[in-house]
Structure 1
Amino acid sequence: MMSSENNCTNLYDHRAVARVLIPLAYSIICPVGLLANALALHVIFSNITKINSITLYSANLAVSDILFCLSLPLRAVYYGLGFHWPLGEGLCKTITLLFYLNCYAGVNFMTCLAVDRFVALVFPQNLVKLRKVKNVRLVCLAIWLLVFAQTLPLLTINLTKTEHDNSITCMEYPNFEGLFKGLPYMLIVGVVLGFGVPVVTIIACYSILTRKLRLAAKSNRLTERSGRTKKARGVIAGVVFVFVVCFSPYHIDLLQYMIRKLFYAPDCKELQSFQISLHITVCLMNLNSCLDPFVYFFACKGYKQKLMRMMKWQVGTHFSSAGRISPESSGIGEEHGTRRNTRITMNTIREAR
């Protein structure tokens, strides 16, 4: 039966809105994601002697996010041109590979972070070998090889397609239609294995860990206030948050459409709605490169302190500049300087003069 996707001409009628909103979103995600993940790598490798399981998983997650962020400017150009890709098949395949590598490497490394914190508190003695640096390095290598193996078949097919208006689309769902026999079955299995299994694992870890900590807190109040306990709960809660906000909408959207395709052939109106929802949920999924630093905030020792120092420095610079430029601001600083513990007051400025 001929799929309706081949005959639809309204799939990109939302380009007028998309060419403004999506590049705007990527122009925010790209620099924020690069800065936050680069800071995480700086914190991790500046304490190279203290590398452990959680910092290794965090470092690999940061690397995958940075690689992905580097591809966003080209994706922004594609959407800015109204779903037109003038850069050739090779570059389209490259950014497609980076997209899926980031998505599923990120899912796996975040799952490893949650499991690592779970094992550290629930089975600290029994499964200690799993958290040794040597074994964690092998796990990270296995994850990269697995994700490469899953995504490399994309390089064997054409990911660009010339549309009826002579625009060239790249990495759009209709471009995959007809290339694989049994595509709905393949994507359903991919969603279950690539998203369903990790999310169930993470929720189970969080639920069991929370229950164990609650029971331990009843017998010993010091356990509840333990820094190690807060760190573990913070890491797993951060991972759950990223999964819910970033990865769930895309995978649920994909799953529901593939299930519908098993029972009937969706018409052009349904496919257009699916296309619009895909562009929105893919944007949300790309947001994970900005939200992953919430996980580092709890996982990486020193990341929180480094981030707070940077923020304090920027706030201090702002007030310092305002004190030099604005007489009114300086007057207020003199009146309330002692109370706010500011370093620059009008008295010192007058003395300097």
Structure 2
Amino acid sequence: MSIICYSVTFILGIVGNGLVIWISGFKMKKTVNTIWFFNLGFTDFCFCLFLPLHITEWANNGIWPFGPVMCKLVYTTLFLNMSVSISFLTIISVDRCVSIQCPVWSKNHRNCKLATSISVIIWFLCLVLSSPYLAFYNIEKHQDENISYCSDDYAAWINITTSDEWTFDLRNKAMFITRFVSMFLIPFFIVLVCYGLIAFHVRKSSRLSGSRRTFRIIIIIVLCFFSCWFLFHLMPFLNFMKIGMNEDLRFFMHHFADCLAYFNSCLNPMVYVFTGRSFKKVLRKSIPFLLENTFREREDI
């Protein structure tokens, strides 16, 4: 299931996010929206680039064949891209809400320079939040020295004894709480509030056209965000609360949660970008033009 899910996510994510990067970065005039979409597409594209390593890992029954350095790098990069992606989804929600609720302020202060500064701050903060994974992810070798697994090692730098179990448990809880609050609780609350305010404003203002379409997009955005990330954060929460579960069910739910979370990286282009009329207009014009040039070159040859 994981191999199929990762493969589908990789193909759709590379194509979809590649188009987002191409259109927002090279085909459209630089605006606040294109800056958001470019960063969102770029981080999701980078996220998808590492999926073949996970496909190889699970094709080898979970055995990690790429060594300790790649173990640290890959999982740190994955958590970095996940946190950056969620942060930009949240920023897009806030930006849309402010543009509708405070149009005058938005017109005077909303500019590319501010958007670029916010983007740099997001990348820096997410890098800081993801840096502990560089220390805690490591190779775990089993009885056969030729078999190793890449997993989180909260026992790093300490010799686990009875007296050190408290340190191990504290690190585990600290990483879970930080991830849950920063990557789900706060972003989901902000997204919910922002799109709730947008929906209320659209419903109240009969002058706004396309209200049904707006409501439909809002519902899709909130449902996709919740569906993709809820289970991913619920599973560690169940472990945190020490809630018992059948081992086979826990194994299945853990990998199903990862599949949903990873799949979010190829949903973003469809939900957040391709629903925009300007992006679809450029997409319709650009792809036929590219194909036409490609075919012409082949005919000349």
Aligned pair in 2 of structure 1 residues 235, 152: CA closer, same or farther (>3 Å)?
Answer: farther
Q: Where do 1:1-353 residues align within 5 Å?
A: 21-48=1-28, 50-128=29-107, 131-164=110-143, 167-171=147-151, 175-179=152-156, 180-182=168-170, 183-217=172-206, 220=207, 223-225=208-210, 236-260=218-242, 273-294=249-270, 295-299=272-276, 301-303=278-280, 306=283
Give the C-alpha shift of residue 76 in structure 1: 0.3
Give the C-alpha shift of residue 177 in structure 1: 4.9
TM-score by length of 2: 0.81
CA RMSD, Structure 1 to Structure 2 (Å):
2.8
User: 3-state SS of the aligned residue for 2:119?
Assistant: helix
Give the C-alpha shift of residue 187 in structure 1: 0.8
Distance 1:309 1:105 in 2: 28
The structure with the largest alpha-carbon Rg is 1
Gaps of 5+ in 2: 157-167, 292-301
Give the C-alpha shift of residue 303 in structure 1: 3.4
Distance 2:174 2:132 in 1: 16
Aligned pair in 2 of structure 1 residues 241, 56: CA closer, same or farther (>3 Å)?
Answer: farther
Contact 1:114 1:235 in 2 (8 A): no
Runs of at least 4 residues off by over 6 Å: none
Aligned pair in 2 of structure 1 residues 120, 237: CA closer, same or farther (>3 Å)?
Answer: farther
Once the two structures are overlaid, the 10-residue window that deviates more, 175-184 or 281-290, is 175-184
Give the C-alpha shift of residue 302 in structure 1: 2.7
Match of 2:294 in 1: none
Match of 1:351 in 2: none
Aligned pair in 2 of structure 1 residues 28, 158: CA closer, same or farther (>3 Å)?
Answer: closer
Distance 1:247 1:276 in 2: 16
Aligned pair in 2 of structure 1 residues 146, 130: CA closer, same or farther (>3 Å)?
Answer: farther
Distance 1:304 1:280 in 2: 36
Distance 1:272 1:169 in 2: 19
Contact 1:113 1:235 in 2 (8 A): no
Give the C-alpha shift of residue 88 in structure 1: 0.2
Gaps of 5+ in 1: 1-20, 315-353
Q: Deviations over 1:197-248 (max 9, x none)?
A: 110010111111111111111xx3xx2337xx95x65665453233122112
Distance 1:177 1:46 in 2: 43
Aligned pair in 2 of structure 1 residues 73, 178: CA closer, same or farther (>3 Å)?
Answer: same
Contact 2:13 2:266 in 1 (8 A): yes
User: 3-state SS of the aligned residue for 1:298?
Assistant: coil
Distance 1:129 1:151 in 2: 35
Quick one: which amino acid aligns to residue 254 of structure 2? Answer: L
Distance 1:168 1:129 in 2: 56
Quick one: which amino acid aligns to residue 222 of structure 2? Answer: V
Q: Deviations over 1:3-53 (max 9, x none)?
A: xxxxxxxxxxxxxxxxxx2122222111211011111111112344x2221
Give the C-alpha shift of residue 251 in structure 1: 1.2
Distance 1:117 1:138 in 2: 18
